[in-house]
């Protein structure tokens, strides 16, 4: 899906989606961190609890509410690993130190 771009209002759309689900992953139900939360957690724990907004059709220009899913990082990675959507190599890889 090369050539697709995120809209200029994507940060606000993504934040609104996350807020609308109470920062709870729509796939696994884990409570994710809100901005500023997670102090004192290890880096990998913060990553695991970070929320992303996923485009179900893998088209970042399609921001219809029915196309967006709020997911924790591992669930977001799960969808992209299965479909090989609009990510580049290593973009969603987990790093552990």
Rounded (to 5) percent helix, strand, coil in the chain: 30, 10, 55
Q: What confidence score (pLDDT) does residue 13 get?
A: 97
Q: What is the pTM of this model?
A: 0.78
Q: What confidence score (pLDDT) does residue 95 get?
A: 46
CB-side neighbour CA atoms (13 Å) of 77: 14
pLDDT tens for the chain, 97 residues: list them.
455 689 999 999 999 999 999 999 999 999 999 999 999 999 999 999 999 999 999 999 999 999 999 999 999 999 888 765 454 444 444 444 4
């Amino acid at each position: 899906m090369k050539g697709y771009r995120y809209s200029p209002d994507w940060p606000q759309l993504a934040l609104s989606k996350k807020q609308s689900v109470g920062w709870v992953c729509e796939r696994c139900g884990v409570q994710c961190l809100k901005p500023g939360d997670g102090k004192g957690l290890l880096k990998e724990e913060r990553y695991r609890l970070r929320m992303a907004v996923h485009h179900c059709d893998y088209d970042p220009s399609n921001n219809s509410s029915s196309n967006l899913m709020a997911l924790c990082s591992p669930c977001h990675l799960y969808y992209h690993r299965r479909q090989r959507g609009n990510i580049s190599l290593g973009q969603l890889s987990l790093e552990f130190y």
